[in-house]
């Protein structure tokens, strides 16, 4: 029988931190989640089961890791802070299906990790992400097109809202388009600051990204060009789409070519980037290419 998770018990986290003389590192954006109800919601949102291989980013002292290990087949917990490794070895010593890996998720060969450790299981990423590096981590996981079925992460609430925002809303932007191209996002829970130690200054949310198989993605001939258009349009979102694109060095077309492509896609000359759906960006990229 598997060990029951226990780190969310009152004062247990503080006891572990005192035992090891641990001090929170601002440079790593450390906020440890304590609330068992939220942890259960993360497990439910990720739909963790015995047939899953879970890669956890930033396990901290192992609070979420214990839950993941209780429900999953195997867990690889990747921690950048070397000071946390002996703590994790202590708090996870009773779980024989978890591997603690000391390293930076942004520098690791994730495809190799999956190939060597997954054992043919379904692969899922789960994380309570440091807010200062949320977008770079997520974009790396998505853009590498790893053999992953879902990514379930705790992020800043406003970032979660941007991920699932649609065209025409104030939250819609380059992150929205990128996340929605690769996945189907859904907010699973809003999480108040008092669920963490130390308390963050912002609200948080758990968001699940179901990775789309290639056949479900928007069809586009030049994916790189499409994302150049998206980044250029939202990089100068106060400008019209035409002006934003013609001023961007990543777009190898002049104003006349861009306007001709826009007209062929049925886009008015004065439209702004925030009004275009992902399918329209794909159509414009194809027209230009």
Report yes or no: 52 and 121 within 8 Å, Cβ to Cβ. yes
- List average pLDDT for each run of 10 residues in the chain, which is 289 residues long: 65 79 70 87 97 96 94 96 93 94 96 95 93 92 96 96 95 96 97 86 94 96 96 91 92 95 96 96 96
Output the CA–CA distances (angstroms, integers) from residue 57 to 103, 181, 246, 259, in the order listed: 10, 23, 39, 44
User: What does the alpha-carbon distance between residue 270 and residue 283 come to, in Å, rounded to a whole number?
Assistant: 18
The CATH H-level superfamily of 223-288 is rRNA adenine dimethylase, C-terminal domain (1.10.8.100)
The CATH H-level superfamily of 12-216 is Vaccinia Virus protein VP39 (3.40.50.150)
Nearest to 147 by CA among 208, 102, 206, 214: 214
User: What does the alpha-carbon distance between residue 264 and residue 169 come to, in Å, rounded to a whole number?
Assistant: 25
Report yes or no: 147 and 55 within 8 Å, Cβ to Cβ. no
Within 10 angstroms of residue 15's Cβ, the number of other Cβ atoms is 11
Please enumerate in sequence order all residues whose Cβ is within 8 A of that of 132, keeping only pairs 6 or more positions apart, or say none.
Answer: 29
Cα 104 to chain centroid, rounded: 15
CA 197, 108, 98, 32: dihedral to nearest 10 degrees? Answer: 0
Q: Is the peptide bond before 198 cis (omega within 30 degrees of 0)?
A: yes
Report yes or no: 211 and 46 within 8 Å, Cβ to Cβ. no
pTM of the full structure? 0.91
Sorted by where each begins, the domain ranges of the chain are 12-216, 223-288
What is the per-residue pLDDT for 1?
Answer: 41
Check for a shared fold between 12-216 and 223-288: no
Residue in this structure with the two tokens 């001023």, named with its chain if needed: 247
What is the per-residue pLDDT for 289?
Answer: 87
DSSP helix/strand/coil, 147: coil
Cα Rg of the chain (Å, integer): 21
User: What does the alpha-carbon distance between residue 147 and residue 75 come to, in Å, rounded to a whole number?
Assistant: 16
Please enumerate in sequence order all residues whose Cβ is within 8 A of that of 59, keeping only pairs 6 or more positions apart, or say none.
Answer: 65, 77, 78, 79, 84, 88, 100
């Amino acid at each position: 029988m598997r060990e029951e998770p226990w780190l969310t018990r009152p004062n247990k986290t503080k006891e572990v931190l005192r035992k090891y003389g641990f001090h929170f590192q601002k440079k790593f954006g450390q906020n440890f989640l304590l609330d068992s109800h939220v942890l259960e919601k993360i497990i439910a949102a990720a739909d963790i089961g015995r047939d899953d291989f879970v890669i956890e980013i930033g396990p901290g002292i192992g609070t979420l890791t214990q839950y993941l290990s209780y429900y999953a087949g195997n867990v690889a917990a990747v921690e950048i802070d070397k000071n946390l490794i002996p703590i994790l070895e202590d708090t996870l010593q009773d779980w024989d299906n978890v591997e603690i890996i000391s390293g930076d998720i942004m520098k690791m060969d994730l495809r190799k990790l999956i190939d060597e450790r997954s054992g043919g299981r379904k692969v899922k990423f789960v994380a309570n992400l440091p807010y200062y590096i949320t977008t770079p981590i997520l974009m790396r996981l998505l853009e590498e097109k790893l053999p992953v079925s879902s990514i379930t992460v705790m992020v800043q609430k406003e970032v979660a809202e941007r991920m699932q925002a649609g065209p025409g809303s104030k939250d819609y932007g380059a992150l929205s388009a990128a996340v929605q191209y690769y996945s189907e996002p859904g907010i699973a829970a809003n999480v108040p600051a008092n669920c963490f130690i130390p308390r963050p200054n912002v609200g948080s949310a758990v968001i699940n990204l179901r990775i789309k198989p290639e056949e479900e993605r928007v069809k586009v001939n030049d994916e790189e060009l499409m994302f150049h258009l998206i980044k250029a349009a939202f990089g100068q979102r106060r400008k019209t789409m035409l002006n934003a694109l013609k001023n961007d060095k990543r777009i190898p077309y002049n104003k006349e070519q861009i306007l001709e492509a826009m007209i062929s896609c049925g886009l008015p000359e004065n439209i702004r980037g925030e009004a275009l759906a992902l399918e329209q960006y794909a159509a414009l990229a194809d027209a230009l290419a």
